[in-house]
Amino acid sequence: MNKAVNLFLALALILLGAFWVHADEPYWKNWQDGFSGGTPNAKTAPSNEPAVSDAFVEVTAQLPHAPYSPVSQFRGYRVERCPACHAGVEEIDAYHPREFGCTVCHGGDGSTVDKNQAHSTLIFDPKAGTGKRNPSSLGVAQTSCGLSGCHSGHLDDSRNQVRRVKKSMMGTLAGMVAGLRYQWGGQADRTSRFGVDAIEDRDGHVPVDGGAVGELKALPHFSLSDVLKTGKADDVDLSYYSRHIGDRLLRESCFQCHIDSPPGPGQNRSQGCAACHMTHSDSGLYEGSDPTVSKTEPGRPALHRMTALPPNRVCAQCHQSFAAPAKGGKYPGAGQPVSDVHAAAGMECIDCHTQNDIMGDGNLYSRQHQAVELRCETCHGDGRSYPSFQEITDPEDPALRLSRYYQGFKNEVGDFLALTARSRKMTNVKKINDEVFTYLKRSGKALPTPPANWESAAHSIPEHSDRLECVACHSQRAPRCAGCHITLDQSSAVADKKKLWSAYRFDLEWEEPVLMVGPGGKIAPMLPQPDRLLTALDKQGQPIPARNERGEMIGEYKDWHFTNPDGYSGSRSAYAFSPHSVSQKVRACADCHLNPRALGLGSGPPTFGKTSSGKKDSIQPTLRTDVVKGASKRDPDAKATLRGQPLAGSHQSGARPLNQEELNRILKVGTCLPCHDRYDDPIYRNVQASYRFAQRIEHREFRNKILDPAFLNPNPNPIPNP
């Protein structure tokens, strides 16, 4: 017995030693799948057949950050026969090479060439409306892109992109939902409560002070009949429908902007991860070499190829007001904006906005400005101090990994990178020998990035540096969408139930920015939108009754003006933003201090009373449409009265039109500008002291003296020389 035991132990040690010798190699590396009856079969013994063939592909890839984890483990196929039909299909990219196979992303049966069997278990979301070809829609991405070890399941949360995107502003549309519901009186506060789908933040970190929330519920339906259409009639309760018309507009029209929605009219894009990382041609036709893909059916990517760095045209399909000029150098709409200084230097969206800006940082935010971590000060400082930088010391720093995808440069341990507003590293903004450079991610070109000029007289005016966002002065134009009167016409939609709401019209105009107080407490440009009125018609073409929360009829939805819970107009909104029209040249002083329109008062000459109460102040609107109709005595674009009373509501926390104190202070400077029109004028070093001096007799006498015609023109009738 002892001899048998000893023999067994000896054999075990020999086998263990053999395994130990090869333990540093992936176990599948020494195995090749053989053939059974001429058919590749992952279950058969090893053979000497080639690893790659036109008829099949051997799945030999290994996940780079998951040691000893072969890609073949996910679907169980070490050999796949997909290339037998999809011969010539493009390799998706260098980080998903051919050796990944097809089924790890697309699902399906890789062991057969029978189309029905091979495609029977493909991963796709039927709600996407684009067939079975996209496995990255957010509803199914966790079974493809989000497999553990791929873009999910990492201790480093920056690598868990699928989970982050689902909680991003693009994934939830929480800002759009809460903004419209608050402005239209559908909820009592500005905080996000609902999203496209229900979602929770379970990672234990919810930065409430930064605007994050712990969870979002799915947006309610408008009516019981809408709920019944979903097939959830068995568990209907009040949480499923709200009787608020805004919820219907959001679901049936606004959600078209969701990253997972089917493309809208004229759009060529995918859904989910592919919405940004797959590119389409202008025609929407496939241009590759896969013989099974139609080259005449629109709605397909140009190639079976992903890009880690989405081009501007991908961003501009949704963010149309920031689109690049069309052919011929013209922007859509009336009034051409000044070219943004960053775009003129060759920068793209991805060169400023971080991965966290775009794909989310793992938190559920209520508003876009809360989710974006980039600031002007991140790269340029604030005119008083330099940007903040931090050295890369950890070989596993995400800034190193992300730079792998850039062209022309890579980050290294020891680099000093600029820090965003959330103290995360900008992966392409470096300090080198006390100089700052921004590297273009697609080309590697290094652009000198000067700090805000400390010696600038404009920057050193305390009222500017303390109270103004950089873009308040440096933005030259702001986009205005003039085509969004909203109509629900059920009478004309009998034949096509998908066209209940009026089509979105991209009638873009460009104007000088109007100013307001932004959510950060500083004066910022305003998105100059006109009134958003609602007309809703029933099947007979008659306006639908508008009712309050008690069910009492308070009017009918015909050019309906909404009022938000704070009592301000929800149709005439005030929204602070960055217009992306930055120039080194700034707006003239008079453009703010002597321009009622720039202050949100509307266009027209103001008349001021003798006291600062504002009771005798008035403004005669240039655009008299509402005056003639008897709808209002004010300009349709006015956001506040001369007394600083808000006319427009804002769904951004802390944001509002300028109040009376601010208007008085700004306009008061305007009375000084005829004489004091330079930034370096000493009176602006201490404005309060200058105002006190302006009340003294010395200033009055000097002012009268310089305004005296004899002083201005001491010899009005000179005697001509003989």
- Which region among 149-153, 164-168, 326-330, 657-661 has the lowest average model confidence (pLDDT)? 326-330
Amino acid 7 reads L
Alpha-carbon gap, residue 101 to 119, rounded angstroms: 15
pLDDT at 606 over 60: yes
Query: What is the predicted pLDDT for the residue at 49?
Result: 37
Helix ranges, 403-531 (H):
462-467, 470-474
> Which of these ranges, 218-232, 409-423, 584-598, has the smallest mean pLDDT?
218-232
Q: What is the mean pLDDT of residues 411-436?
A: 96
Q: Give the per-residue pLDDT at 628.
A: 61
Q: How far apart are CA 146 and CA 162, in angstroms?
A: 6
Helix segments in 234-336, DSSP class H:
245-252, 274-277, 312-316
pLDDT at position 187 over 70: yes
| Neighbour tally for 549: CB within 10 Å | 9
Least confident of 267-276, 378-387, 505-514: 505-514
- Written as one string, the DSSP assignment of 463-494 is HHHHHB-HHHHHB--EEEE----EEEESTT-S
Q: Are 231 and 215 in contact (CB under 8 A)?
A: no
Check pLDDT > 90 for residue 200.
yes
Whether the per-residue pLDDT at 715 is higher than 70: the answer is: no
**Dihedral over Cα of 314, 315, 320, 323: its sign:** negative
639-653, 668-682, 704-718: least confident range: 704-718
Q: How much is the pLDDT for 550?
A: 75
- CA–CA gap between residue 339 and residue 583 (Å, rounded): 8
Q: Which residues of 20-42 are buried (b: 16+ CB within 10 A; e: fewer)?
A: eeeeeeeebeeebbbeeeeebbb
Cα-based angle 171, 175, 181 (whole degrees, multiple of 5): 125
d(CA 476, CA 591): 11
What are the residues whose beta carbons fall under 8 Å from the beta carbon of 51, sequence distance 6 or more?
32, 58, 60, 99
535-573 pLDDT, tens per residue? 999 888 899 888 776 778 889 999 899 999 999 999 889
d(CA 565, CA 358): 31
Question: Is the confidence at residue 133, as pLDDT, over 90?
Answer: no
Q: Is 710's pLDDT higher than 70?
A: no
DSSP assignments along 567-629, one per residue: SSEEEEE--B---S-B-SS---THHHHT-TGGGTS-SS-EE--SSTT-TT-EE--S--HHHHH
CB atoms within 10 A of CB 91: 14
pLDDT of residue 625: 65
Place 316 in a pLDDT band, splitting at 50, 70 and 90.
Answer: confident
State residue 678's pLDDT score.
86
How many degrees, rounded to 5, is the angle at CA 30 between CA 24 and CA 32?
Answer: 150
Rounded Cα distance between 172 and 155, Å, is 24
Q: Rounded mean pLDDT of 588-616?
A: 81
A 10 A CB-CB count for 139 gives 16
Please tell me the predicted confidence (pLDDT) of residue 237: 62
The number of beta carbons lying within 10 Å of the beta carbon of residue 635 is: 23
Measured CA to CA, the distance from residue 174 to residue 209 in angstroms comes to 17
Q: Is the pLDDT of residue 211 over 80?
A: yes
* Beta carbons of 592 and 666 less than 8 angstroms apart: yes
Q: C-alpha 265: how far from its chain's center?
A: 20
Residue 484: its pLDDT value, please? 61
CA distances in angstroms from 376 to 419, 432, 464, 513, 696, listed in the order given? 12, 19, 15, 18, 41
Q: Look up residue 119 and give its two tokens.
A: 């495609």
Decide: residue 156, CB within 10 A, 0-12 exposed, 13-18 middle, 19+ buried: exposed
Q: Could you tell me if 172 and 195 are in contact, meaning their C-beta atoms sit under 8 angstroms apart?
A: yes
Q: Is the dihedral of CA 146, 147, 151, 155 positive or negative?
A: positive
The single residue listed with the structure tokens 């932004």 is 518
Number of DSSP helices (H) and strands (E) in the chain, helices first = 24, 26
Higher pLDDT, 303 or 28: 303
Q: Which of 353, 348, 340 is nearest to 426 (CA)?
A: 353
Distance CA(234)–CA(511), nearest Å, equals 52
Q: State yes or no: pLDDT of 704 exceeds 60.
A: yes
Q: Is the pLDDT of residue 42 over 70?
A: no
pLDDT band at 46 (very low <50, low <70, confident <90, very high): very low
Reduce the DSSP state of residue 653 to 3 states and report it. Answer: coil
Token representation of residue 122:
């493909």
**Tell me: the pLDDT tens digits for 252-295?**
888 888 899 888 777 888 999 999 999 999 899 999 999 999 99
- Edge-to-edge order in the sheet of strand 446-448: 389-391, 416-419, 425-432, 435-439, 446-448
- Is the pLDDT reported for residue 24 higher than 60? no
Q: Closest Cα partner for 83 from 116, 48, 44, 112?
A: 112
How much of the chain is helix, strand and coil, in % rounded to 5? Answer: 30, 15, 55
Is 16 a residue whose pLDDT tops 60?
no
Ranked by mean pLDDT, the top range of 49-53, 152-156, 211-215 is 211-215
- The predicted pLDDT at position 632 comes to 65
Task: Using a pLDDT cut of 70, give the percent of the chain over it.
Answer: 82
pLDDT score at 494: 59
Percent of the chain with pLDDT over 90: 50
- Look at residues 596, 575, 582 and name the one whose alpha carbon lies nearest to residue 529: 575
Nearest-angstrom CA–CA distance, 235 and 190: 29
120 Cβ neighbours under 8 A, 6+ residues apart: 108, 109
Which residues lie below 8 Å from residue 614, measured CB to CB, with a gap of 6+?
A: 641, 642, 643, 644, 660
Q: What's the Rg (C-alpha) of the chain?
A: 32
DSSP 92-130: -BTTB-GGG-SHHHHBS-TT---HHHHHTTB---GGGSS
What is the Cα–Cα distance from 419 to 432, expressed in whole angstroms? Answer: 15
Quick one: 551 exposed, middle or buried, by C-beta within 10 A (0-12, 13-18, 19+)? exposed
446-448 and 478-481 as β-strands: parallel, antiparallel, unpaired?
A: unpaired
pTM of the model: 0.85
Q: Residue with structure tokens 């991860």?
A: 273
Q: pLDDT-based confidence at 34, cuts 50/70/90?
A: very low
Query: What is the chain's mean pLDDT, rounded?
Result: 83
Over 60: is that where the pLDDT of 30 sits? no
Give the model's pLDDT for residue 551.
75
CA–chain centroid gap for 568, Å, is 27
Q: Is the pLDDT of residue 505 over 80?
A: no
Residue length of the chain: 722
pLDDT score of 677: 86
